Amino acid sequence: MIPHLYTEEEANALLPTLIPILEELRRLVRDAAHFQRQLAMITPAARSNGQAPEALALEVALMGVQERFGDLVSQLEDFGVELKDVETGLIDFRSIRDGREVYLCWRLGEDRIRYWHELSAGFRGRQPL
């Protein structure tokens, strides 16, 4: 599959659609961690002492979170957006700059796309547009 190459304007126009997805992904990571902590507190012995329904409910909730997370990541992929870091909401859009393929780089909290970097550079290689 050939990746979509975004202009700066196209990528900025897509941000209002992507922000809620990224915010929900971040919330889902926190929810999953919470359910995992709760499950870890229920020992195998406790599960056999009547707390199994609680453990089952937590496992079902965790599976739901994981499924929704996968759905949202798939949505990003459908847009041709690459998720780099869930916690910061860091995403990259493939683009062309000076005749070569690069990433336009954005993360939650930034008002618009202001940076780009080489495909091999990563976040530390960000440069102003």
Cα distance between residue 34 and residue 111, in whole Å: 30
Residue 61, classified by CB atoms within 10 Å of its CB into exposed (0-12), middle (13-18) or buried (19+), is: middle
Cα distance between residue 6 and residue 95, in whole Å: 5
The DSSP element (H or E) to which 81 belongs, if any, is strand 81-85
pLDDT at 1: 66
Q: pLDDT digit string (tens) for 88-120? A: 999 999 999 999 999 999 999 999 999 999 999
pLDDT band at 47 (very low <50, low <70, confident <90, very high): low
The half-sphere exposure of 59 on its side-chain side, counting CA atoms within 13 A, is: 8
pTM of the entire predicted model: 0.89
Tell me phi and psi for residue 120, to 5 degrees: -95, 0
